[in-house]
Amino acid sequence: MTGGLIAELERLRAGVRGRVLLPGDAGWDDARRAWQLLVDQQPAAVVEAATVDDVIAAVRAARSAGLRVAPQATGHGAGALPDLAEAILLRTGALTEVRIDTETAVARVGAGARWSQVVEAADREGYAVVAGFAPSVGAVGFSLGGGLGWFARSHGLAAEHIVAVEGVDAYGRVVRADAARNPDLLWAARGGALPLIVTAIEVRLHRVGALHAGSLMWPIEQAADVAHAWRAWIATVPDTVTSLARVLRFPPLEVFPEPVRGRAFVVVEAAVQAEGADGILAPLRALRPEMDTVRPLRAADLGAVHGDPVDPSPAYGEAVVLAEITAPAVDAFVDAAMAPATSALLSIELRHLGGRLAQPREDEGAVTSIAGQGLVMAVGIVPVPEALAAVRQGAEALVEALRPYSSSQAVKNFAERPASAEALYGASLPRLREIAAQWDPEGVIVGAHALV
């Protein structure tokens, strides 16, 4: 790092309310840490913004120093970023404002707010948001990446419900995008690639009626029977039901409850937004699950159903979209999930898509639908570096086994490494490139999954 660059970053340090950290500073490793602990981010500097003014100052300092800026809140999705050696990692995790406007049924959400904060605030006013499965995920990053949650089949992607975006552009100017102002940026924000450092979004709130959710669990030996019963069942359910079939292998560790510790299961998780949930679930319960946690829940409690980690962890995952959930596709899913090659994986799940997700609305947003009926995600924990090879090989083997049934589309929030822009954005890609060239021609703002 040159003396001029250090001087510029020291001037930035003196001019912001948040922290500016350089390599070797106390707290450097924590500041640059991604949520996915296998990702080793090595930026030129880290700025922990305390205010929007700090974001502006960081952009202007980066331009003066010949650096780029990579905005990041929680650090989810960091594996899809390019090398950050010539970039400032701009952490927006302190921008945690959540404000509910009951008159307009809109929530204002700061760039650092997590879903747990947003869903609780909305619930206190009798509303729900189109949130993700994991309460620890940043609400803004999740929504900008598309956002696939428990209301996906009834309400679509979270990105569809963004009504406004506020942020700082590549020149350090504060920008607002909504239906009346900069509508091109609002369109790009809905699931696309946004040439803006987002400081807050506004999202629509919803009323949700009766809600039942939870898990049905059977010993893994019943995987084929349960998976095919689930396949037949999803063909009968309304769009107010979102569910997944999953193979779970619990390590023999004391952090897991005794009934599941060291065991493997086939699981169906479901969220039912309807009266008569017991009747809807009856065909699955007829298979006599060993454990059944489906019960009435508040929308704010949905984050506990999937059991995602609440802290950063060393994990490796792969995902693939299935064009259809057919009997042969389910056979391939079960065979691969039960094969020795995938035994190192903690979770292998198949989510049911369709419903509103199958209804493209290209004029409303860059990505508003998913061209497939199912999404498969495989993930394994890597407690020591030596475990990575087996986990990676297992995840790749699963994806390869499902390739004959896969769609050409990739889902941004599930692409943990750089994915092709064509697979992520499809027909929206040319317009996204035009918007990026107009707002950030020099490529100052660094995002995951390059548009080139």
Out of 191, 207, 223, a domain closes at 207
Answer whether residue 324 is part of any domain.
Answer: yes
Alpha helices in 339-420 (DSSP H): 388-402
In a domain, 199, yes or no: yes
Burial track 143-181 (b if 16+ CB lie within 10 A, e otherwise): bbbbbbbbbbbbbbbbbbbbbbbbbbbbebeebebeeee
For 30-56, give the DSSP string: HHH--SBTT-----SEEEE-SSHHHHH
- What number of residues does the chain have? 452
**Inside any domain, residue 441:** no
Structure tokens at 216: 């049905």
Per-residue pLDDT for 152 more than 80? yes
Does residue 255 sit in the same domain as residue 314?
yes
* Cβ density class 211-244: b for 16+ within 10 Å, e for less: bbbbbbbbebebbbebbebbbebbeebebbbbbb
Distance CA 24, CA 421 (A): 36
CA 280 to chain CA centroid, nearest Å: 28
Separation CA 45–CA 228 (nearest Å): 51
Average pLDDT, the chain: 96
What CATH number should be reported for the domain holding residue 245? 3.40.462.20
290 and 375 inside one domain: yes
Mean of pLDDT values over 130-142: 95
User: For the domain that residue 81 is a member of, what is the CATH number?
Assistant: 3.30.43.10
Domain end residue (candidates: 69, 91, 113): 91
Q: How many domains does the chain have?
A: 3
**Alpha helical stretches, state H, 115-268:** 115-124, 139-144, 152-155, 183-189, 223-234
pLDDT for res 5: 81
Shared domain check, 85 and 24:
yes
Is residue 379 located within the same domain as residue 230?
Answer: yes
CB 448 within 8 A of CB 419: no
Q: At how many degrees (to 10) do helices 388-402 and 327-338 cross? A: 160
Q: What is the pLDDT of residues 18-52, one digit of tens each?
A: 999 999 999 999 999 999 999 999 999 999 999 99
Q: Judge if 154 and 264 occupy the same domain.
A: no
Taking the C-alpha atoms of residue 398 and residue 21, their distance in angstroms, rounded to an integer, is 41
Alpha-helical segments (H) within 16-81: 28-32, 52-65
Q: Are residues 196 and 237 in the same domain?
A: no
Is the pLDDT at 1 greater than 70? The verdict is no
- Specify the pLDDT at position 254: 82
CA gyration radius, the chain: 22
Residue 435 within any structural domain of the chain: no
CATH number at residue 118: 3.30.465.10
Q: What pLDDT is attached to residue 209?
A: 87
In a domain, residue 330? The reply is yes
Are residues 337 and 275 part of one domain?
A: yes
Residues 18 and 137 in one domain: no
In a domain, residue 367? The reply is: yes
Domain boundary among the residues 207, 238, 256 is at 207
Q: What is the mean pLDDT of residues 337-353?
A: 97
Q: Domain limits at 34? A: 3-91
**Rounded (5°) CA angle 330-331-332:** 90
Task: Determine the pLDDT at residue 340.
Answer: 95
Q: What is the mean pLDDT of residues 117-138?
A: 96
Measure the CA dihedral 202/207/210/215, to 10°.
-10
pLDDT in tens, 239-283: 999 999 999 999 888 888 888 999 999 999 999 998 899 999 999
| Contact yes or no for 327/389 (Cβ under 8 A) | no
CA separation for the pair 373, 247 (Å, rounded) = 19
Is the domain of 248 the same as that of 114?
A: no
The single-letter DSSP state of residue 411 is -
Distances (CA, A) of 415 to 82, 145, 276, 316: 14, 10, 36, 11
The angle at the Cα of 416, spanning 201 to 376, to the nearest 5 degrees, equals 100
Q: Is residue 173 included in any domain, yes or no?
A: yes
Indicate whether 407 and 289 sit together in one domain.
yes
* Average pLDDT over every residue of 212-218: 98
Q: How many CA atoms lie within 13 A of 157 on its CB side?
A: 31
Task: Tell me, yes or no, whether 370 lies in a domain.
Answer: yes
Q: Are residues 87 and 39 in the same domain?
A: yes
Greatest alpha-carbon span in the chain? 71
252 phi, psi to nearest 5 deg:
-80, 60
The confidence band for 6, taking pLDDT boundaries of 50, 70 and 90, is confident
CB 199 within 8 A of CB 112: no
Residue 180: helix, strand or coil by DSSP? coil
Verify that 220 and 183 share a domain, yes or no. Answer: no
